Structure 1
Amino acid sequence: MEETRTRRDNVPAETGDLVGREAELGELAALVGHSPLVTLTGVAGVGKSRLALRAATTLRGAFPDGVWVVALSAEQNGALVGHAVAAALGLPEQAVRPQAEVLADFLAERRLLLVLDDCDHLAEACAELLRHVLERAPHVRVLATGRGPLGLDQERLVAVEPLAVPDGAEAEDCAAVRLFTERARALVPGATLDPHEVARLCRGLDGIPLAIELAVRRLRALSVPQIAERLDDRFALLAGESRAPLGRHRSMRTAVGLSHELCTARERLLWARLSVFEGWFDADDAWAVCADGRLATLTLSGLAERSILVADGERYRMLDTIRDYGRQWLRLLGEEEAMLARHHDHFLAVARRAEAEWYGPRQARWAAWARQAMPDLEAALTRDDGFDLATSLWFVWCCLGQGRLGHRHLDRLLNREATPGPARTKALWVCSWAALAAGDTAAARRRAAEAYTAATAEGDLAAAGCAKQGAAAAALVLGDLDTAARLAAQAAGLFEQATPERAAHIGLPVAETTLAMAHSLRGEFGPAVEVLVRQWARCAERGELWARSHGDHVRSLAELGRGEIAAAEAYARAALDATWCLRDPLGVAAATDQLAATAVARGDGHRAARLLGAASRMWTAAGLSAHGASPYVTSRVRTERGARTLLGDPAYERAFARGMAMDMDTTVARIRDTDGFGHL
């Protein structure tokens, strides 16, 4: 008992600096002051123990009776948890009374912080002990660490996330890069490190501090890019051969393996099966891919509580490190091929449903789904033996800024499979549209011609219309307005013949947009507006956004040509709103350019230059800047010339640079704020 009065605490000395946890430390200090029990949760290796120890060190002065750390990682018997706590506090053994009562009596009037580190394997015993102690000791505070909660009513949870690794210039000063750099320079003095290469490696390591520190130890033999290239076998790479202290985990396999041991057999099987998902998924996705007679119920929330899954509302995902571990088990179970096949079939089924509903009111929902599902769609495409998935996703390639990806996959499939048939014909026209979205006009024309020949032979009028539209759009980009108008009119006629029930194929309003653009660029603003009035009504009737937004863009061009500046700006804003809702990068950039053109018409050179700068960044970020003699480029040149005339070159360059410096989110928010751009 005397030892407890003379010792202030037993907090061990830290073995290294804590990097990038300032926000969590502040949150902990506030929570520990007001909550009886705070539990740090998080994935293996994320740094829960180190954060708890730093918090304990920081909070020493707030507890008159000290801060006491109980390391439970080596204790395997739940019945001895109370004895471990008593030993840390310096209490003598008492064989007569239950240890929980002894602790409760001792702590009843004391003001101290108890740190229970690594409670996972003893969670029930820890919870039972704390339930007893906290009822009798109102001034005691407990800080616990584990992969999941202890489950007490008074428990407050703090999720310890991996260190964020942003893209771009911000990566240089992010916590993960700083951690790697500090540890690397301590290990290899004078080491020269490229922060962008380090950031790429840290992203591959999920920002997990233990993984980063283990990777640093490979620098004696490998460069940063070489380490990054070996992450496919991360558990062998991060084996932790060095004997330098890294806490109780000397390898990522050990750290993640402890999480695996804490799971039930059903949870382990689910973990393994879920490893086929590359990105976010929900309960319906998991059920479709993973459920069978062995897994009739799926405990996603349980895996999230154990930090195996990252949860965001009703969505879940795995960190790469956790996924790789699960995939190894899936392979050992002999289920990898079967689960990958189910994964492919599921995403094909959903893609077909999305395609069927794209021309309608659920467009925004399907656009959001596609953005979320892209990692899994890409994975499924690599296993696709036919054209179905790549062609069902035509709206992703052509409407959502993924033209290059779609063009690459479709070219691969078309070059591999030359047997004629409706599936290949569809792949040809989709490839034409995707190639145009990717800026490859020559490929677009070639595939459109092949598609038209095949569709005509098969008597497929809708496919022939899609092929004609691809050719018309290519002609428009090349500046051949007469050919574009003729082909677009032919495409519209084919769609009307194929779908007499009116407007059943999205190709019709797309072809009408191309026709109206050709009219507008030829100065035929009245005929352009006539076509667009029909096009707008057709889209509005179905609740469609994408084709209507591009029609609104062309309507803005026509209204500006007629001198109707207010109407031109209103239509350009409508186009921006819809394309931003869908996150269509081509549409957003084009609408921003068109708003710059309306600013020139109003005589506002500063606004026009800033908008052009912002749009230029959008085009470049989307990889869509090289469109040859496309009408977009022609319009930009004309608008820039007008803005320079209004401002003079030096003022134009300054305003353009200010717009170029803004990211897309900020730009669109300020544009939609009506006057936001005027106050930059």
Structure 2
Amino acid sequence: MTRCGNLPAEMNSFVGRVTELDEIAKLLTRTRLLTLRGPGGVGKTRLALRAARNLRDDYPDGVWVAELSAETDGGLLIHGVAGVFGLHTPAERPALESLVEHLADRRLLIVLDTCEHLVDSCAAMVVAVLTGAPDVQIIVTSRQELGLPLEVVMVVEPFPVPPPEAADLADHDAPSLFLDRARAVAPGLRTDDRAMMAVARLCRRLDGMPLAIELAASHMRGLSATQLADQLDVHFKPPADGEGIPVRHHTLRTTAGWSHELCTPAERLLWARLSIFPAAFDTEAARGVCEDERLPDVPGVLAALAAKSVVARVDDRYRLLDTIRDYGRDWLDELGETGLMIRRHRDHYLSTARRMGAEWCGPHQLEWACWAHRELPNIRAALDRCLTTGDHRGALELAGALWVLWCHLGLVREGRHYLDRALAAAPAPDRARSQPLWVAAHLALIQGDMSLARGRAEEAVESAQRHGDGDAEAHALLALAEARLFSGDLSPEGARAYALRVAAGLRPNSPGTFFLPAFLALAATFGGDFDEAVRILREARPGHEARGELSQRAMDDYVLSLALFGRGDIAEASAAARAALEVKRRLRDTLGGVLAIDQLARIAAAEGDGHRAAWLLGAAQRVWTTFGPPATAADTMTALREAVGARATCLIGETAYARAFNEGSASHFEAAVAYALRS
């Protein structure tokens, strides 16, 4: 883990719930699984996060929040939760097994937020985690309990409402919440006896539901509390007998409908269109999906909806609460725009993914890495919708365009999941298959599946040639050459022949142009020509630096370290490996980072520091155990690690080696990186 927890900042002040917070603290002293159950809009998430914030000092390994409302595929649930911890799960190893092992000796609290649509998947994961990680505790928020024997359920009720005869409202949470939110939009709010009677009447009308109260308070600009309460009295009608509508659900729907009526036509339209986003979004995404001749000023309308609490704003991003999103989605269906918005949502993320691919080998890699990780829920939703609605070509194009996310930002298994589904759904020859095929080949290489890599690469070459796509053919040829190299059946001369074919087909400044030097240098290193490898990489470096590129430059540094070590330049090899590790840490590229740590262990052993070598091997082993085997030349990498271990054992003895190895394997990845970077 690279940080101790990921609790989000509170969007506004937390009001009330003192009794509930005390109860949660007590329950967590006697249970490891606590479910906060209640209807939408009752405040389960805010309560869970505030309780976690109050208790975080009890968890030395942090409090971690997995927000699940946007996850629709139970099969990807574990990958999403693992991603919260920066954990990447390999295809050849069960994801749940990797997650449990990662958590096994940590003392932490996990908040699984919004689980009602994934109850079975969540229950299975929770049982495995609590069984294999004895010091982990879990808080679940859900409209439905998980149904597990070890589960303690705490029902979250709406705020108690003040009775009509109440003279003092200071001790009542419902009016306190209303006043707190109302003052944010109406600083001169009156609080005389008549006004407070109206506030109490309003809270009773809203059944103490926190979300309904917040929505009502957002409309206080220009109104008195009495006027607002009178408006609500007009709009609220109890459900007719026999309708089967829970009163609290009716309250929220009515409040949302009343807020909807108070919106302008443009605000109503944007509210409906924003419901297509399953998770948080930024202004650029809102414009890309929702803006047209009917909505020419999305940023302005979005700001108005935020002022009315229809959308919540956190820093530079926005989101709709589930109940508000559901209401907007009903209106989107009513308008007949659901299909249109699905297509626009797909097109926005497809065009942005293509921009990321085109600009990846340049100065904005860190920004693109942040964008990809931040937008993952929306990306998943776009892919899932393509696959479930029969938009197979859209699925192919989007899954292929996201090659940076799959190949360079650690989501290897998820990339395989979507690429395999998309390729299987559209098996007929199509130009759109060429890129997904070569991307799938690279993923198979990362996973060490050389047979699949060669098969996918050969199919990609054939597809690209059939449709005259020279750039895709070049990338496919590079994947095929790498598969042959790592399988041990490609000589340096053969690698150079492949490189000429690849270079001839690449567009100017195509990403493949920046990958070629490392491939050629690795081939030279495998062939024992270390001087040639060093020459290739040093000649390539000015080009990388001129473009401000980081990721491939770091991989070049890793290969350079291998070559420098091979020719005996140990100090230079160490500097190159450290440079690679520093960049991989910034990009959150765990695979690239652990390769560099392995190399630094090898260097430590060569320098006679057996303790450092053993510690680094242990730290790397922990990552390999959770990530999977070395991505390339698995047998060669394993042999190198074994040789380093044998050398370190000779230097310090078996007992000291085991002690240092175990110390390293107990470290977090960030601690391992910090240790590795120290001289």
Distance 1:649 1:240 in 2: 71
1:538 counterpart (525, 543, 551): 543
- The letter of the residue matching 1:277 is F
Q: Aligned pair in 2 of structure 1 residues 303, 577: CA closer, same or farther (>3 Å)?
A: farther
Contact 1:627 1:633 in 2 (8 A): no
Q: Aligned pair in 2 of structure 1 residues 457, 255: CA closer, same or farther (>3 Å)?
A: closer
Q: Aligned pair in 2 of structure 1 residues 349, 442: CA closer, same or farther (>3 Å)?
A: same
Distance 2:619 2:401 in 1: 33
Partner of 1:429 in structure 2? 438
Superposed displacement of residue 558, structure 1: 1.0
Contact 2:392 2:426 in 1 (8 A): no
Gaps of 5+ in 2: 1-15, 28-39, 51-158, 194-207, 222-242
* RMSD over equivalenced CA pairs, Å: 4.2
Partner of 2:263 in structure 1? 265
Contact 2:438 2:479 in 1 (8 A): yes
Superposed displacement of residue 295, structure 1: 4.2
Contact 1:72 1:117 in 2 (8 A): no
Q: Secondary structure of the equivalent of 2:318? A: strand
- More RCO (CA 8 Å, sep 6+): 2
- The letter of the residue matching 2:533 is A
> Does 1:117 find its partner at 2:184?
no
User: What does 1:60-139 align with in structure 2 at a 5 Å threshold?
Assistant: 87-89=166-168, 116-119=175-178, 123=182, 130-131=189-190
1:400 counterpart (409, 415, 418): 409
Superposed displacement of residue 436, structure 1: 1.5
Partner of 1:607 in structure 2? 612
Q: Aligned pair in 2 of structure 1 residues 516, 12: CA closer, same or farther (>3 Å)?
A: closer
% of aligned pairs identical? 39
Contact 2:256 2:327 in 1 (8 A): no
1:644 counterpart (635, 644, 649): 649
Contact 2:530 2:564 in 1 (8 A): yes
Contact 2:218 2:309 in 1 (8 A): no
Q: Aligned pair in 2 of structure 1 residues 18, 518: CA closer, same or farther (>3 Å)?
A: same
> Does 1:347 find its partner at 2:426?
no
Q: Secondary structure of the equivalent of 1:278? A: coil
Superposed displacement of residue 627, structure 1: 6.1
Q: Secondary structure of the equivalent of 1:311? A: strand
Distance 2:18 2:423 in 1: 63
Partner of 2:275 in structure 1? 275
Superposed displacement of residue 560, structure 1: 1.3
Superposed displacement of residue 366, structure 1: 1.4
Distance 1:350 1:49 in 2: 36
Distance 2:307 2:318 in 1: 12
Superposed displacement of residue 345, structure 1: 0.9
Q: Aligned pair in 2 of structure 1 residues 123, 408: CA closer, same or farther (>3 Å)?
A: closer
> Does 1:582 find its partner at 2:572?
no
User: What does 1:304-453 align with in structure 2 at a 5 Å threshold?
Assistant: 304=306, 309-318=311-320, 323-324=325-326, 326-382=328-384, 383=386, 384-386=391-393, 387-453=396-462
- The letter of the residue matching 1:477 is F
Distance 2:47 2:600 in 1: 53
Superposed displacement of residue 362, structure 1: 1.8
Superposed displacement of residue 551, structure 1: 1.0
1:45 counterpart (43, 46, 50): 43
Distance 1:353 1:464 in 2: 20
User: What does 1:450-461 align with in structure 2 at a 5 Å threshold?
Assistant: 450-457=459-466, 460-461=469-470
Distance 2:250 2:651 in 1: 64
User: What does 1:110-259 align with in structure 2 at a 5 Å threshold?
Assistant: 116-119=175-178, 123=182, 130-131=189-190, 147=214, 254=251, 258=255
Q: Aligned pair in 2 of structure 1 residues 559, 410: CA closer, same or farther (>3 Å)?
A: same
Distance 2:187 2:438 in 1: 66
Contact 2:581 2:592 in 1 (8 A): yes
Gaps of 5+ in 1: 1-10, 23-41, 53-70, 76-83, 91-111, 135-143, 154-238, 242-248, 676-680
Contact 1:612 1:640 in 2 (8 A): yes
- The letter of the residue matching 2:176 is D
Superposed displacement of residue 475, structure 1: 2.3
- The letter of the residue matching 1:429 is W
Partner of 1:512 in structure 2? 517
Distance 2:676 2:302 in 1: 41
TM-score (ref. length: structure 1):
0.63
- The letter of the residue matching 1:409 is Y
Q: Aligned pair in 2 of structure 1 residues 648, 329: CA closer, same or farther (>3 Å)?
A: farther
Partner of 1:656 in structure 2? 661
Q: Aligned pair in 2 of structure 1 residues 261, 656: CA closer, same or farther (>3 Å)?
A: farther
Distance 1:21 1:307 in 2: 33
Contact 2:624 2:630 in 1 (8 A): yes
Superposed displacement of residue 616, structure 1: 2.4
Q: Aligned pair in 2 of structure 1 residues 329, 522: CA closer, same or farther (>3 Å)?
A: same
> Does 1:618 find its partner at 2:620?
no
Superposed displacement of residue 460, structure 1: 4.7
TM-score (ref. length: structure 2):
0.63
Superposed displacement of residue 529, structure 1: 0.8
Q: Aligned pair in 2 of structure 1 residues 416, 656: CA closer, same or farther (>3 Å)?
A: same
Q: Aligned pair in 2 of structure 1 residues 566, 255: CA closer, same or farther (>3 Å)?
A: farther
Distance 2:478 2:18 in 1: 71
Between 1:275-284 and 1:319-328, the stretch displaced more is 319-328
Distance 1:51 1:314 in 2: 21
Superposed displacement of residue 426, structure 1: 2.7
Deviations, residues 337-371 of structure 1 (Å, cap 9, x unaligned): 22111110111111111111112222222122111
Distance 1:470 1:361 in 2: 25
Distance 1:12 1:289 in 2: 38
Contact 2:256 2:324 in 1 (8 A): no
Distance 1:546 1:576 in 2: 11
Contact 2:162 2:172 in 1 (8 A): no
Q: Secondary structure of the equivalent of 1:488? A: helix
Superposed displacement of residue 568, structure 1: 0.9
Partner of 2:285 in structure 1? 285
Superposed displacement of residue 554, structure 1: 0.5
> Does 1:527 find its partner at 2:536?
no
Partner of 2:82 in structure 1? none
Distance 2:438 2:46 in 1: 53
Deviations, residues 51-85 of structure 1 (Å, cap 9, x unaligned): 99xxxxxxxxxxxxxxxxxx89589xxxxxxxx7x
Partner of 1:5 in structure 2? none
Distance 2:466 2:532 in 1: 33
Contact 2:558 2:580 in 1 (8 A): yes
- The letter of the residue matching 2:282 is D
Superposed displacement of residue 610, structure 1: 2.3
Q: Aligned pair in 2 of structure 1 residues 494, 626: CA closer, same or farther (>3 Å)?
A: closer
Distance 2:467 2:583 in 1: 36
Partner of 2:104 in structure 1? none
Q: Secondary structure of the equivalent of 2:313? A: strand
Contact 1:400 1:584 in 2 (8 A): yes
Q: Secondary structure of the equivalent of 2:392? A: coil
Between 1:378-387 and 1:568-577, the stretch displaced more is 378-387
Q: Secondary structure of the equivalent of 1:265? A: coil
Partner of 1:591 in structure 2? 596
Q: Secondary structure of the equivalent of 1:316? A: strand
Distance 2:557 2:642 in 1: 21
Contact 2:346 2:382 in 1 (8 A): yes
Superposed displacement of residue 258, structure 1: 3.9
Distance 1:408 1:419 in 2: 19
Partner of 1:560 in structure 2? 565
Deviations, residues 454-497 of structure 1 (Å, cap 9, x unaligned): 4445555433332221122212332x0x5163453233212432
